[in-house]
Structure 1
Amino acid sequence: MAVAEAGGKPGGQRRIVLITGASRGIGAETARVLAARGDHVVINYREKRKRAETLAAEIIATGGSASVAGADISDADSARALIDSVIAEFGRLDVLVLNASGGLERDAAPDYAMLLNRDAQAHVTRLALPHLPAGGHLVFVTSHQAHFSPTREAPPGYETIAASKRAGEDALRAMTDEFATRGIGFTVVSGDMIDGTIIVRLLERRDPDAVTARRDHGDLPTVEEFATAVANATTSPDPLGHTIYVGGMDYVAAAQP
């Protein structure tokens, strides 16, 4: 399943980092940042194989180390094959970045958002846990609109995504005791609407006022800024379940007691 093209020796001193949904956007930029820091990044994609291979080639050309692995994590067998392929190729997995999400697609089934944003996140984590060593790290990528959805109204058309993303976050938080027992770090990275992402473009089509309202509070974080925060989270010394917020300080301030 994995197509290995490494610019170094990922089985050596490099960490092995699997990033789901990494062929574009935040996942792709996170891969660039981590590879530049010396990690071997496994770029997971669902359909965009050429895009993922182009990204891997770009990373390798600049001295980094990368490979690609095609899998639909919402399919249980495909998710298992993904983790198995990483372990078969590298012998270990040091960091899992849960970046893949969805549900705004026009042809998405009614239950797809919950299947991908909650069930798949928990399933992939369960599959990865036996292979993550003490000192390994798990990062869950989300949005303020999802993270704060229990207490703040989500933008029109985004409610289902927000609820499913929050459900995925809660499912992972329910595993905190197991993470602690295994010595694995767990960090949530939550961002305001991220300028230039497909989510913002889709929301602009469905409800442009919602995006405008966020911009009225200040510049939206860029993909580069958010991806850097996600990359930093992979070495976060903060307590298990700590949330790193990027942009949208009005959301964060409103949540403070």
Structure 2
Amino acid sequence: MIVDSTVQRVVLVTGASRGIGAEAAVQFGAAGAHVIVNFREKRKRAQVVVDRIIDAGGSASTLGADVSDPEQVTEMAAEIRQAFGRLDTLVLNASGGLERDADPGYALRLNRDAQVNLATSLLPLLPVGGRIVFVTSHQAHFIHEKTDVPQGYIPIATSKRAGEDALRALIPEFRTHGVGFTVVSGDMIDGTIIVRLLERRDPSSVESRRAAGPLPTVEDFARVIVRAGTNAAADGETFYVGGNDYLAAAEASRWSLPPDFARHQH
């Protein structure tokens, strides 16, 4: 596939073979970007996402890599450099830790260490004006302020907050490269694998969130990721999607945005 990277934005979405990552990839494609759909094992699923983008008139390609494997990340960076010459937006969406076969340290390796390695490894490919977006949850982002995190999700929430903190510590380095860093934090997102897993392991936690109001959809969340990965924003800005009770606990001022459940703060 020929991509004119001089005029077309090149976006890498990790963990993009399904769920939020897949929908974000589709929406980036609809906005005119060439989307690199990263996957670990599900090549066919990733190709389905690429086909959706292309069938809608967009441009996309797959790139397999286990983002928790530093060697594979190095290879991924080399492939992007060779194929496109640069990367305009890096969406750090891949995460995990609730898998049945995951060892106790896997969540921290994936949700903190791998995210830092991805950002630093791909930073040389990002030009001035490039953007890095870290995708997280309210349960992780507000874990120090809220105590009602589902028991089964605590290791994930703790590791994702550690990942966010580690990435925020790199903002001075990102800034020297002229690269912006933002966070998109969402409430439980209807239809995602995390919600389905929690419905099996801790159904009351999902029921309580639904009782607080309608859960944002995958489309809602993806729309805000695309905004964060495309538009100019203050370094370290957080975009919120849903969960007014979580937002009320935050100390900083915030204001309403259009009806896509999004809010943001400096």
Per the normalisation by structure 2, the TM-score is 0.92
Structure 2 match to 1:161: 156
Task: Report deviation, 1:10.
Answer: 4.3
Equivalent AA in structure 2 for residue 76 of structure 1: P
Deviations 1:65-91 (A, max 9, x none): 000000000011011111111111111
1:223 pairs with 2:210: no
Cα pair 2:145 2:249 within 8 Å, conserved: no
Matches within 5 A, 1:1-257: 6=1, 9-153=3-147, 154-256=149-251
Shift of 1:144: 0.1
Q: CA RMSD in A?
A: 1.1
Once residues 231 and 150 of structure 2 are traced to their aligned partners in structure 1, the CA distance between those partners, rounded to angstroms, is 30
SS at match of 2:152: coil
Moved more, 8-17 or 106-115: 8-17
| SS of aligned partner of 1:42 | strand
CA shift, 1:235, in A, is 2.2
1:2-53 CA-partner distances (Å, limit 9, x unpaired): xxxx4x6343411110000000000000011010010000000000001101
Q: Which amino acid aligns with 2:48?
A: T
Task: Give the whole-Å Cα distance in 2 for the aligned partners of 1:197 and 1:235.
Answer: 24
SS in 1 for 2:16: coil
Q: Distance in 2 between matches of 1:51 and 1:19?
A: 14
Where do 4+ consecutive residues of structure 1 move more than 3 Å? none
Q: C-alpha deviations, 1:74-112, integer Å up to 9, x for none?
A: 011011111111111111111100000000001101100
Amino acid at match of 2:67: I
How far apart in 1 are the matches of 2:4 and 2:68? 27
Unaligned runs of 5+ in 1: 1-5
2:242 maps to amino acid = G
Contact 1:92 1:131 survives alignment (8 Å): yes
Over the matched positions of the two proteins, sequence identity in percent amounts to: 59
In the alignment, is the contact (CA less than 8 A) between 2:46 and 2:62 conserved in 1? yes
Q: Is the 8 A contact 1:10 1:39 kept in 2?
A: no
* Amino acid across the alignment from 2:243: G
Aligned amino acid, residue 112 of structure 1: Y
Length-normalised TM-score, structure 1: 0.95
Give the secondary structure class of the aligned counterpart of 1:157. helix
Counterpart AA for 2:15 = G
The answer on whether the counterparts of 2:3 and 2:84 sit within 8 Å (CA) in structure 1 is no
